[in-house]
Structure 1
Amino acid sequence: MSHPTPTTSPRHTAAAPSTPDQPPSWAPAVSTIALLTALGVLMVGQMYTVLALLHPMATALGTTSGQATWTATAFGFAYAAGFLLAGPLSDRYGSRAVITAGLVAATAATLAVGAAPDLTWAVALRIVQGLTAGTFAPSALSYVVRHLAPQRRGTALTCITSGMLAAAVIMQIGAQAVAAGLGWRAVFWIGAALMALSLIPVRRVLQPTLRRGSGGGLRQAFAAMPQLLGQPRLVALYLSTVALMASFVAVYTAVAIAGPPGIAGNSSAILALRASALPALVAVPVLAPVLQRLAAPLRSVLAFALAALAVAAGSFLGGHTVALAIALLLFVAALAAAAPAVVETINAGAAHARGAAVALYGCSMFIGASLGPQLTGALTGLGFAGILRVVAATLALGVLLALPALRNRHTG
């Protein structure tokens, strides 16, 4: 009985972190969630800032606003590619290392976008910016799964994904305000400065990831992707994510270019309608502990269904601004609940390839976000109500795609 207790044995404590879900100590939840949520708004928001800058950018670069939209589309697809690179890199080198390197590269790229002399350069530099900014989100989500205590992960994923959705509104409002006072180039320069400053808390708050033995190296990390795509239920969830984000961006593009009958042509009213969804993006993280009482697959199915119903209702409310704002608030709340539920479900089926799994999720997300404007553009002849009805049908398809994961839970 005189043997040392486990708590006093250095050998015992050193052996504890042998599995990725049992680090020597869990990361501090509050500071980690706050940092990653704020960075999510900043990094994901780089896609949406140009939507508020199309006219001044077009004037300065000698092109049209329509052609300037390529700065958004190019960023979106490059951002999706950045996800595919970052996930396996995060599995191999650790999330903090990838976040740090990505922030350094994105800072330089964002500065360069602000100095673009013409549209060709602007599009090319936005591709680089998208590729480098895309390293953040999969690394952040992978960090949460590896370094936060299990009971904190659901709240963290909800906060971070809600911040990414909120970026679509927050960063457009911020870009519009900065451009009005300092010009459109200052939007990118300020963004770059914020990225550079964020390196300080990243190094202080985030923990390095302990490597797991030899693990087969980087080649094995990338090889996990086709293995994940061989799982039909995961593929269905990735496709549901495409439907989710395409619907989100399509609805707000429809608000901007198709115009609800009650506020068409009124830019201030349209901005207010966009901002009306922000309370939902605050409320859903607050309610995360309650929502997590439901299993993630069930939450995703119910959230998709609510989103479809809200958009379908909104298609009949174009002439009633307040009622439409409520429908959009419910729509965004449903999306904010669906996104972390899908991430949790994907992680549950990804074993040790969580970085790669989240990377594929993020890639799906931004493929959807990039397709959203094209969906709305192809449907403009249907009018605002017709676009929303097609979006509601797309979300109903998302319900069907999420159902296999629910069945797997009941049968497995």
Structure 2
Amino acid sequence: MVTALLVLTQLYAAIPLLKPISAQLHGSATFALSTAFSLTYAAGFLIWGPVSDHYGRRRIMALALGILTVSTACCALAPSLPALAILRAVQGLSASGFAPVALAHLSEAPAPPRRARAIGAMSTSFLVAGIAGQVLASLVALHLGWRWFFPLCAGLLAVALVVIPAVVHDAARTPGSSLRVQFQALGRLALRPAVLALSLAHLTLLMVFVAMYTGIGGHLESLGMRPSTIILIRLAALPAMFLSLGAGALATRWSWPQVARLGFGLSALGMLGEALLAGSLVGLVAASVVYVAGVALAAPAMISLYGQVSAPNRGSGMALNGFILFVGTSIGPLLATSVPTFRGLALVLAGILAVALAAVTGFKALVGAEH
């Protein structure tokens, strides 16, 4: 969980670092800092997941963390936006070697009664990174300068690189199929109608999250908020993220598709509230907490559904899960800058979440038809 927090921090730090890096490197840093990382991060899922099915989880996590540690340290030395883009792309590709492999590990290594709680805990870590990454990067940039963020994270990742191989042990597994067979299984999984519906919903999850938090920063500045106040407002929804820890308990009483529908419905309601209350600071913060609570329920539900439909090739299932999720993440900043007002952005995002809710409902019907 701690390592997941560190890895995902590299993604979400782009939101507050865009402005200082653009100013110092003389140009828009959106592509170099955000898009370059997100696209390679998404693409890397399709590589690392099947590879871990073949070679085992532990060694792939260690390899990916080693490359990520070095590339993160090098980002502090980037002399230009093109150089930063290359380093961020390497960061993204190596970072994607942790999340799908760790999730596949948690889908098979713990005892069955504990797996839902383990995935819920990991989902909480992923979501907390969405706030913690922004806050850490904001504080470092404000007090030390943006370049210090990367060596600080590299040092923490180096500790994780030592600890993960020491404490993580692969579950007993049958020998992996050839890589060709693993990638063929991934292709077949991606084209199943039920999985296509699931992926349509999943695409929106972090797309909307990143778009909202990208847009809200500029909106709060327009309301006269100081940077230190904006940091506190970003932290307001943090407690709601821990609802992920209870998603497994809800699923035992209902089902994962029902938890997913509840999550998307709640997040759509919260986003609509943000649109209607955009002019009120208290109302905006309250609505954002409702939105984040919905995301906290939807995230572990979606991960678990991908794990169920992909068994026994769970590495491939987590690869597809991550690829779809972070393609959406790479679209988020572009979506945020394409809508001129925050109120308009929030209305668009609420509509996107309503489509996701319909897609999750369709997924359950399509799974029933397949069987």
Confirm or deny a common fold (TM above 0.5): yes
With 39-48 and 51-60 compared, the bigger mean Cα shift is at 51-60
Please say if residues 93 and 209 of structure 1, whose CA atoms lie closer than 8 Å, have aligned partners that are also in contact. no
With 204-213 and 162-171 compared, the bigger mean Cα shift is at 204-213
Q: What is the correspondence of 1:39-188 to structure 2 with a 5 Å cutoff? A: 39-61=3-25, 63-64=26-27, 66-188=28-150
| Corresponding residue to 1:251 among 205, 212, 215 | 212
Q: Does residue 316 in structure 1 map to residue 280 in structure 2? A: no
Q: Cα 1:316–1:123, aligned 2, differ >3 Å: closer, same or farther? A: same
Instruction: After superposition, give the CA deviation of every residue in 1:339-398 in whole Å (9 maximum; x if it has no partner).
Output: 111111121111222111111110111111111111121112xx2222111111100100
Instruction: After superposition, give the CA deviation of every residue in 1:180-210 in whole Å (9 maximum; x if it has no partner).
Output: 3433222111111111111232122211244
Matching residue's letter, 2:13: T
Give the equivalent residue in structure 2 for 1:293. Answer: 253
Give the equivalent residue in structure 2 for 1:230. Answer: 191
In the alignment, the residues of structure 1 paired with residue 364 and residue 270 of structure 2 have an alpha-carbon distance, to the nearest angstrom, of: 22
Please say if residues 62 and 161 of structure 2, whose CA atoms lie closer than 8 Å, have aligned partners that are also in contact. yes
In the alignment, the residues of structure 2 paired with residue 248 and residue 222 of structure 1 have an alpha-carbon distance, to the nearest angstrom, of: 30
Please say if residues 247 and 372 of structure 1, whose CA atoms lie closer than 8 Å, have aligned partners that are also in contact. yes
With 122-131 and 339-348 compared, the bigger mean Cα shift is at 339-348
In the alignment, the residues of structure 1 paired with residue 36 and residue 346 of structure 2 have an alpha-carbon distance, to the nearest angstrom, of: 25
With 276-285 and 203-212 compared, the bigger mean Cα shift is at 203-212
Three-state SS of the structure 2 residue aligned to 1:327 is helix
Deviation at 1:408, TM superposition (A): 4.9
In the alignment, the residues of structure 2 paired with residue 322 and residue 265 of structure 1 have an alpha-carbon distance, to the nearest angstrom, of: 13
Q: Cα 1:97–1:200, aligned 2, differ >3 Å: closer, same or farther? A: same
Instruction: After superposition, give the CA deviation of every residue in 1:304-338 in whole Å (9 maximum; x if it has no partner).
Output: 11111111122111122222211111111111110
Q: Does residue 390 in structure 1 map to residue 352 in structure 2? A: no
Give the equivalent residue in structure 1 for 2:303. Answer: 343
In the alignment, the residues of structure 2 paired with residue 297 and residue 55 of structure 1 have an alpha-carbon distance, to the nearest angstrom, of: 39
Matching residue's letter, 2:211: A
Q: What is the correspondence of 1:357-396 to structure 2 with a 5 Å cutoff? A: 357-380=317-340, 383-396=341-354
Q: Cα 1:366–1:181, aligned 2, differ >3 Å: closer, same or farther? A: same
Gaps of 5+ in 1: 1-36
Q: Cα 1:218–1:153, aligned 2, differ >3 Å: closer, same or farther? A: same
Deviation at 1:247, TM superposition (A): 1.1
Deviation at 1:56, TM superposition (A): 3.4
Please say if residues 32 and 84 of structure 2, whose CA atoms lie closer than 8 Å, have aligned partners that are also in contact. no
In the alignment, the residues of structure 1 paired with residue 185 and residue 136 of structure 2 have an alpha-carbon distance, to the nearest angstrom, of: 39
What is the percentage of aligned positions where both structures have the same residue? 33
Q: What is the correspondence of 1:20-35 to structure 2 with a 5 Å cutoff? A: none
Q: Cα 1:170–1:204, aligned 2, differ >3 Å: closer, same or farther? A: same
In the alignment, the residues of structure 2 paired with residue 111 and residue 199 of structure 1 have an alpha-carbon distance, to the nearest angstrom, of: 14
Three-state SS of the structure 2 residue aligned to 1:318 is coil
Matching residue's letter, 2:271: V
Please say if residues 243 and 297 of structure 2, whose CA atoms lie closer than 8 Å, have aligned partners that are also in contact. no
In the alignment, the residues of structure 1 paired with residue 124 and residue 157 of structure 2 have an alpha-carbon distance, to the nearest angstrom, of: 20
In the alignment, the residues of structure 2 paired with residue 292 and residue 279 of structure 1 have an alpha-carbon distance, to the nearest angstrom, of: 23
In the alignment, the residues of structure 2 paired with residue 322 and residue 288 of structure 1 have an alpha-carbon distance, to the nearest angstrom, of: 31
Three-state SS of the structure 1 residue aligned to 2:276 is coil
Q: Cα 1:150–1:408, aligned 2, differ >3 Å: closer, same or farther? A: farther
Give the equivalent residue in structure 2 for 1:20. Answer: none
Matching residue's letter, 2:322: G
Three-state SS of the structure 1 residue aligned to 2:107 is helix
Instruction: After superposition, give the CA deviation of every residue in 1:43-100 in whole Å (9 maximum; x if it has no partner).
Output: 0110122332234333443x13x23553111101011011111110111111111111
Please say if residues 9 and 130 of structure 2, whose CA atoms lie closer than 8 Å, have aligned partners that are also in contact. yes
Q: Cα 1:76–1:195, aligned 2, differ >3 Å: closer, same or farther? A: same
Three-state SS of the structure 2 residue aligned to 1:53 is helix
Deviation at 1:291, TM superposition (A): 5.0
Three-state SS of the structure 2 residue aligned to 1:147 is coil
With 95-104 and 397-406 compared, the bigger mean Cα shift is at 397-406
Please say if residues 37 and 92 of structure 2, whose CA atoms lie closer than 8 Å, have aligned partners that are also in contact. yes
With 312-321 and 75-84 compared, the bigger mean Cα shift is at 312-321
Structure (1 or 2) with the larger CA radius of gyration: 1
Q: CA RMSD in A?
A: 2.0
Deviation at 1:405, TM superposition (A): 2.8
In the alignment, the residues of structure 2 paired with residue 399 and residue 55 of structure 1 have an alpha-carbon distance, to the nearest angstrom, of: 34
Instruction: After superposition, give the CA deviation of every residue in 1:109-140 in whole Å (9 maximum; x if it has no partner).
Output: 11111111211111111101110011110001
In the alignment, the residues of structure 2 paired with residue 367 and residue 96 of structure 1 have an alpha-carbon distance, to the nearest angstrom, of: 26
Please say if residues 8 and 133 of structure 2, whose CA atoms lie closer than 8 Å, have aligned partners that are also in contact. no
